[in-house]
Structure 1
Amino acid sequence: MFAKSDLKAMSRKELERLLSDVEKALKAARTRDQREARKAAKKAAAEFGFSLGEVSETQPSTPVKKRAKAKKTSKPSKPMYANPDDQQQTWTGKGRQPHWFRNQVESGTAPDAMRI
């Protein structure tokens, strides 16, 4: 093994070569571990009378269909209040109060008096 002082004494090229060697060794170790895992899996499947291909799910078994969420089409709310000065101006009672409604209330008109 390398000590920290050994690494500090190495040149950049030597460190890059060492890094390359370590990456190759890691790749070989991964391949070896995969091969051993596959052998162990085959042995475990054989104990139950199956081949590894029968046990492994290479394709998902009967894919679950996701239901498309139905979008609710909201109906426009019915107006609850109308401007006494201009009946074309209405308000549903939801959201911000329109200026005409606020002005009427400030001038003393009861909200129930403007109800449709």
Structure 2
Amino acid sequence: MTNLSIYTIPQLKQLTARIEKEIAKRESVTKSDLLKKLTKLAKESGLSLDDVLGNATPAPAKARKVSPKGTATRKEPLPIKYRHPSNRDLAWSGRGRRPQWVEAWLAQGGAMSALEIAAQKMEKRSMKQATEAQPVVQEPPAEVAAG
């Protein structure tokens, strides 16, 4: 391996460009050699390469739904169905694998219904806090124009 610390920055950049060109050249040669080998194998079997590849094309990947602006649409998070009674940060929608905190809760003899009730209570509290937090907007009194 060559010690690269003896090269200057321009020399290193030139070396990088040469390496990238060599990599592209070798990839091209490798692809063409492989294509020749595959064509030969297909021909020996009495098929064309198009026949072989036509039957083996992978199924197209599902296209993402794209909004009109060109960004991918985001799914809304699922509503919380279960919440830890003493730690409001621990929540679960009920879909997918059970979180460790749910498993621990059940292992200690807790019931899923208790987690469900805790989630309902937290939702009611957050709704109440949201309505209380909204400021009351009063219209300013109409000023009488002096004339």
Q: TM-score range by the shorter chain?
A: 0.3 to 0.5
TM (norm. structure 2) is 0.38
Larger Rg: 1
Give the TM-score normalised by structure 1: 0.47
